[in-house]
């Protein structure tokens, strides 16, 4: 296994991947809160951590990927109320949409996709441990975490404790010992139709404690990689880390890995801003392959601009790989292939640099295209498989229909007669039927658009 380093938000530096158990890696990635359909920005962590799992498996690790679903949350109550439906019904419907929408990415499913509502026993147990250690306190059915009880609080997000606003507004302020404290458990309020009985009263969990309990329940404490969007670093991940540290006396995860945000119109894509593009709409308009290629084109830690130009560029890259795939032979990979493959995997091993890895792919394609003979494509397929794009090398099942072939033959005749206006007309007619005609030494080839 080659050494692998990933950027750890806590240390602010690249950290070596050091499994607790040799050859085994656990990844927990924060998933969506299911109060409506997910947008393309919500899909970025799904893609990043699905592809990271594929890479680690290629390197010989047995990987367990956990991506949760938050199905108990204030946002779900608020969204269900004006619809006149139970909050759990809305959560169930949106969860089903989330599964279907992300299935469209063709990257498989995480090994576990826990629902917060299924882990209430674990949540109650962790809150109980925090109460026993005096890191939390119960008041009027609520339970709050004592932020100042954790001397390491703020070290993940690199913030001064006095500058931290939990984002809870005035909720529970009169019951808190300190405005910095945050809710672990919330007493049931009027209009909240999902609740559980606990030793401190009937209610439901706070957002942060849900992920701590689900991660611990499926991966234990001290697992290798905790992932999510960088918008979750504070307060969500800071609070997750603090809860486990104080409740279990150990760190929840070794590496905290954060992906950047998608931007649309120069701003972070967000439902609150209103600049969103739903994942199924992007998949329908641009296709699954171009969508995955788009995500691979940006380093996971940086922002990624979504617009017509970036999507068109991704589609063009897909076409280049497909065209190269049509020219591949069945023999072994050429000698020049091995260094490019090594460059590809070395890029992924150094902070999962997919743009640099893609550059090696297109160096491979460029070199293959300049070869006078067909070359074996096993190395290219191996690289693309890690990125979820090996299907680009699969031959078309159906060839062009007879109508398209007839037009292409007419175009050959028109070109031979130097009737270039007719040749262009026939080219456009072929394009209208969903095919691209290319002139090659043997005459022409037809490629599905």
Question: pLDDT (tens digit, 9 = 90+) per residue, 309-361?
Answer: 999 999 999 999 998 988 898 888 999 999 999 999 999 999 999 999 999 99
User: What percent of the chain stands above pLDDT 70?
Assistant: 96
Q: Give Cβ neighbours of residue 302 (< 8 Å, ≥ 6 apart).
A: 260
Stretch 14-32: mean pLDDT: 98
Quote the pLDDT of residue 395.
Answer: 65
Quote the pLDDT of residue 146.
Answer: 97
pTM of the model: 0.88
- Tokens matching residue 414: 């028109």
Query: Is the model's pLDDT at 265 over the cut of 80?
Result: no
Alpha-carbon span 181 to 166, nearest angstrom:
8
Contact 87, 131 (CB under 8 A): no
The rounded mean pLDDT for the chain is 93
Stretch 421-446: mean pLDDT: 84
Q: Is 211 within any annotated ligand binding site?
A: yes
Quote the pLDDT of residue 106.
Answer: 96
Alpha-carbon span 13 to 337, nearest angstrom:
32
140-159, pLDDT tens digit by residue?
999 999 999 999 999 999 98
Q: Is 246 within any annotated ligand binding site?
A: no
Q: Is 39 within any annotated ligand binding site?
A: no
pLDDT band per the 50, 70, 90 thresholds, residue 396: low
Quote the pLDDT of residue 77.
Answer: 94
Quote the pLDDT of residue 168.
Answer: 66
Query: Is the model's pLDDT at 276 over the cut of 90?
Result: no
pLDDT band per the 50, 70, 90 thresholds, residue 235: very high
Alpha-carbon span 228 to 226, nearest angstrom:
7
Quote the pLDDT of residue 416.
Answer: 86
- DSSP code, position 391: G
| Cα-only R_g, the chain | 26
159-193, pLDDT tens digit by residue?
887 777 776 666 677 899 999 999 999 999 988 99
Q: Is 236 within any annotated ligand binding site?
A: yes
- Tokens matching residue 355: 């743009």
Q: Is 240 within any annotated ligand binding site?
A: yes
Alpha-carbon span 229 to 233, nearest angstrom:
7
388: alpha, beta or left, given left = phi > 0 and alpha = psi -120 to 50?
A: left
Cis status, amide bond into 398, omega within 30 of 0 = no
434: alpha, beta or left, given left = phi > 0 and alpha = psi -120 to 50?
A: left
Give the residue with greater pLDDT, 51 vs 324.
51
């Amino acid at each position: 296994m080659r050494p692998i380093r990933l950027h750890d938000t806590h240390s602010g530096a690249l950290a070596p991947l050091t499994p607790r158990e040799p050859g085994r890696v656990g990844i927990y990635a924060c998933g969506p809160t299911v109060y409506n359909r997910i947008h393309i920005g919500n899909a970025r962590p799904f893609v990043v951590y699905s592809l990271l799992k594929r890479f680690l498996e290629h390197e010989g690790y047995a990987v367990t990927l956990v991506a949760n679903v938050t199905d108990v949350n204030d946002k779900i109550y608020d969204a269900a109320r004006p619809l006149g439906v139970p909050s759990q019904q809305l959560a169930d419907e949106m969860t089903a949409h989330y599964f279907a929408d992300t299935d469209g990415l063709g990257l498989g499913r995480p090994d576990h996709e826990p629902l917060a509502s299924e882990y209430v026993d674990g949540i109650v147990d962790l809150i109980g441990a925090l109460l026993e250690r005096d890191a939390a306190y119960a008041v009027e059915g609520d339970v709050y975490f004592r932020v100042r009880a954790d001397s390491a609080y703020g070290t993940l997000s690199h913030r001064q404790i006095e500058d931290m606003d939990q984002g809870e507004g005035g909720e529970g302020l009169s019951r808190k010992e300190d405005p910095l404290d945050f809710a672990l458990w919330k007493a049931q309020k009027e209009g909240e139709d999902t609740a559980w009985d606990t030793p401190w009263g009937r209610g439901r969990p706070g957002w942060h404690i849900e992920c701590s309990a689900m991660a611990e329940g499926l991966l234990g404490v001290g697992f290798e990689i905790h992932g999510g969007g960088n918008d979750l670093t504070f307060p969500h991940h800071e609070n997750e880390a603090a809860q486990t540290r104080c409740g279990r006396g150990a760190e929840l995860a070794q590496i905290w890995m954060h992906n950047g945000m998608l931007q649309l119109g120069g701003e972070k894509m967000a439902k609150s801003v209103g600049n969103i593009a739903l994942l199924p709409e992007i998949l329908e308009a641009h296709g699954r392959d171009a969508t995955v290629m788009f995500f691979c084109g940006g380093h996971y830690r940086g922002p990624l601009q979504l617009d017509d130009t970036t999507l068109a560029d991704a589609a063009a890259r897909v076409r280049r790989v497909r065209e190269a795939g049509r020219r591949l032979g069945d023999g072994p990979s050429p000698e020049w292939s091995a260094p490019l493959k090594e460059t590809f995997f070395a890029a992924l091993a150094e902070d999962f640099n997919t743009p640099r890895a893609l550059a090696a792919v297109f160096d491979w394609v460029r070199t293959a295209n300049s070869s006078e003979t067909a070359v074996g494509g096993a190395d290219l397929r191996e690289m693309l498989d890690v990125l979820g794009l090996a299907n680009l090398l699969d031959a078309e099942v159906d060839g062009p229909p007879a109508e398209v072939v007839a037009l292409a033959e007419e175009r050959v005749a028109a070109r031979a007669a130097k009737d270039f206006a007719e040749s262009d007309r026939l080219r456009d007619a072929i394009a209208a039927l969903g095919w691209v005609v290319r002139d090659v030494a043997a005459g022409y080839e037809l490629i599905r658009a």
